[in-house]
Structure 1
């Protein structure tokens, strides 16, 4: 399974964070900073520099960040199962492939929770509020939208030093929602009346490609059959790639968020 995941570029978070045992990867520096100097490390080493309220905030950031890291490892293993079953499913255009769609939904569900925990880290780190406090703050009904805190932070003058990272995070947040969370909600809706409904619709669609086979010449039958399989393989591949992309986007976003949080936190360690 590890080999299949590596071929897709799906690594443990520490696999992105380090070039070797001692050298952090520049493009994922935030992941390395969290491993070396998480909020718990700051509390243990610079506790006297923080107020009790600030220690409480740092404790919540630690919990959300570690929840995120644990969920990412769970999702990585779930993606591995998805890739394994995709190889079987891609050869079975006229079967339900319940196992594949079950792992697809499972991976998306874990990544959705991981997305929420990462957003919590960001809101706590820059706004010093929980997600609920942020949502209930004055400023309009859109504060619950996934990308709202990222857009708000980017437009705040006091965050000028983070402008470049925040601009990237706004785009990543929108891609995480549109390409991940929203897709997951749609998939749950499709499966709401029973596991396999989505797969069944796929089977029906593929059968439609060859339903006129008895009226066709051999070459036309062969083409209809091939088209059905190509369509099915494309759907399976797109389902896998959407989850892989979600994982990779979260990894990139986490590095940026952890880096910003680390900078803000260290400014209080005087």
Structure 2
């Protein structure tokens, strides 16, 4: 069953053009995309090629000198980012499975849909935090908490503001053109992160409300009549149409993120 679900989720993700993170950065199987060269190099030449670095409780002592903390932060935050992006993609695959399984059904009330949607939102927002942590370590050789607490401002804004390290890095590395692209993207990422909190609250509330409604309906359903059945058919037809529109919008939103 697990293999079947995995294969079907992968088929639906491919059809929706929601690719694995490792697919980005390449023009073909051998040539890196010049616009995404850093990501391609991350895959072929990671900053630390030592699995023991990622095991904080490990007792193994490396024969080579211990790498500096900022470099370990880059490696660990980068690995977290990759894992979180894959987790978000898998949640979206399960989301697509829920949508596909509901097609044509008279009653559409799948709590797994909201669960997988909420999971994908949380994973993506957390991934953006790991990416910021990696960037701070690479640009300033320090940890994210230390950077956020440091005195001074960046163009009048505190360093804890999401976009501050990118703007400060652009001032420091004046010949790096890609930083201007990153700064332009930062407001969109911030908006998505802020929207995440609202959406998770709304989704969780909807789940709770439906659960309460389900219990109430089970306690005393009305006696079936022709009028009730016709009304129910009309309600369900309208609900299925709304379901299809909403699900398409949700998938596009998550894919854009």
The equivalent of 1:242 in structure 2 is 253
Larger radius of gyration: 2
TM-score with structure 2 length normalisation? 0.71
Partner of 2:84: 71
Counterpart CA distance in 2 for 1:61 and 1:84 is 35
What is the match of residue 10 of structure 1? 18
Counterpart position of 2:57: none
Q: Any conservation in 1 of the 2:108–2:240 contact (CA below 8 Å)?
A: no
2:100 corresponding residue in structure 1: 87
Distance 2:66 2:158 in 1: 27
RMSD in angstroms over aligned alpha carbons?
3.4
> What residue in structure 2 maps to residue 208 of structure 1?
none
Match for residue 145 of structure 1?
161
Q: Is 1:232 equivalent to 2:250 in the alignment?
A: no
- Per-residue deviation, 1:173: 2.4
Q: 1:161 aligns with which of 170, 175, 179?
A: 175
Unaligned runs of 5+ in 2: 1-8, 51-64, 214-232
Contact 1:98 1:199 in 2 (8 A): no
The aligned residue for residue 107 of structure 1 is 120
Residue 112 of structure 2 is aligned to residue 96 of structure 1: no
Greater length-normalized contact order (CA 8 Å, ≥ 6 residues apart) = 1
Corresponding position of 1:57: 70
Contact 2:114–2:203, Cα closer than 8 Å, also in 1: no
1:135 aligns with 2:151: no
- More deviation, 9-18/63-72: 9-18
Alpha carbons of 1:106 and 1:114: their partners in 2 closer, same or farther (altered >3 Å)?
same
Task: Determine the C-alpha separation between the residues in 1 that align with 2:100 and 2:212.
Answer: 18
1:223-265 CA distance string (max 9 Å, x none): x98765444322221111111111xxxxxxxxxxxxxxxxxxx
